[in-house]
Amino acid sequence: MTPLLAPLLVATAGAISCQPSFKINPSNSGDAFVYYNLMSMNLRGASWTFGDSDHDSQSVRNYTYRIQICGEVESPSKIPACKDNLATATAWQFDSKGDRGECFRLGSHFDDGNAEWSMIDENEPGKGIQLTYFNGDFCPYHQKNRSLTVEIVCENRKTVPPAFVEERGECHYFITLPHQAGCPSTCEISAGQVCGDNGFCGFDTDTHTAKCFCDDGWSGKACSTKGDGESIKEEESPGCDGVCVALIFVFLLLLGLIATAVVLLLRVRKMNELNIRFAALGEELNPDGKLKTLCLCCVPHALDPPVHSILHDQNH
């Protein structure tokens, strides 16, 4: 598995919906699609409500935010200032302080011109998805309309931790919301948790699909089966390619050269030792260093029996 993708990414054709999909081209090896399903985050008849990130500060107003995912929500009816706006919007920002309070739309309608899906990281679909609402109420100080981005981070578990809205740009508001719906829909759920909480959701560039990559000791499409399976360590132990084979060949060749050199060195040392021994033996036989030749024909006939002894034996 290689999680890096080429930056070519486009949303598929069709009206905006709660089931966005993206066509990507990983390493120019053919088109692939990533699918998401945010239907579980659409709270029909209700809304997501969050506080301001500066809710403990005394120097700024503490706003409340009412947001709908993949839809619109009614304006806070108890805030007089909200009655001056449309009846519904994708997101609201309001404060009850004062006679009328304050009320602003951070988006308009949930349609192609006022909402847009995108991935958090175009190189890693498993990180999550984000939804941006445009064309909220006009912001006089910055001379632009208010807007909001909801970053829905892929989260294995159902539990949603507390989240707060912050202003990151000129009248552009941002909230990070961990949720299972932020994971590609092809990463399966087991026991109420993405990948059984025994792995992580990532993109496989070999199969061109988002799927679960299981921890050691777990296997299956949802990482719900105990036992050896496809592990996240697969990335650390790829197959041996052409470069790997060439390196192994060079390594074996070097080992052969080293072994040959060692054998030759041992033979040279053995020859040197033999030469030294022969030289020492020669010195022992010939201490004065002069060459002596033993010739039996030049030696007196001391070795032969005396002539008179032979004649004496013949007379008797």
Cα separation, 136 vs 152, whole angstroms: 20
Q: Is 229 contained in some domain?
A: yes
**Residue 169 belongs to a domain:** yes
Residues 8-26: pLDDT tens digits? 444 554 568 899 999 876 5
pLDDT at position 307 is: 46
- Same domain? 191 vs 294: no
Is 20 inside a domain boundary?
yes
* Domain end residue (candidates: 194, 221, 236): 236
| 138: amino acid identity, one letter | F
Q: Are residues 90 and 15 in the same domain?
A: yes
Looking at residues 123-140, what average pLDDT do you find?
93
Task: Tell me the C-alpha distance between 148 and 115, whole Å.
Answer: 10
Specify whether 142 is located in the same domain as 213.
yes
pLDDT tens, residue by residue, 274-316: 778 777 777 766 666 554 544 444 444 444 555 445 444 544 5
- Is residue 311 domain-resident? no
Is 315 domain-assigned? no
Q: Same domain, yes or no, for 232 and 247?
A: no
Beta bridge partners of 312: none
Cα–Cα distance for residue pair 16/209, rounded to 1 Å: 22
Residues 57, 103 within the same domain: yes
The 10s digit of each residue's pLDDT in 240-281 is: 667 788 889 888 989 989 999 988 888 888 888 877 877 777
In a domain, 1, yes or no: no
pLDDT surpasses 90 at 201: yes
- Say whether pTM exceeds 0.85: no
Q: Would the pLDDT of 2 be above 90?
A: no
Q: Of 189, 213, 236, which residue constitutes the final position of a domain?
A: 236
129 and 257 fall within a common domain:
no
Residue 60 shares a structural domain with residue 132: yes
Residue 181: predicted pLDDT: 93
**Residues 208 and 247 grouped into a single domain:** no
Q: Does one domain contain both 169 and 288?
A: no
Does the pLDDT at position 140 exceed 50?
Answer: yes
* Judgement on whether residues 267 and 282 belong to the same structural domain of the protein: yes
The answer to whether residue 139 is domain-embedded is yes
Instruction: Check whether residue 163 and residue 41 sit in a common domain.
Output: yes
The one-letter amino acid at 218: W
Query: Is 93 in the same domain as 51?
Result: yes
Please tell me the predicted confidence (pLDDT) of residue 305: 53
CATH number of residue 158's parent domain: 2.70.130.10
Residue 187 lies in a domain: yes
Enclosing domain of residue 259: 242-298
| Tally of domains in the chain | 2
Range with lowest mean pLDDT among 53-62, 120-129, 290-299 = 290-299
Among candidate residues 211, 236, 261, the one where a domain is terminated:
236
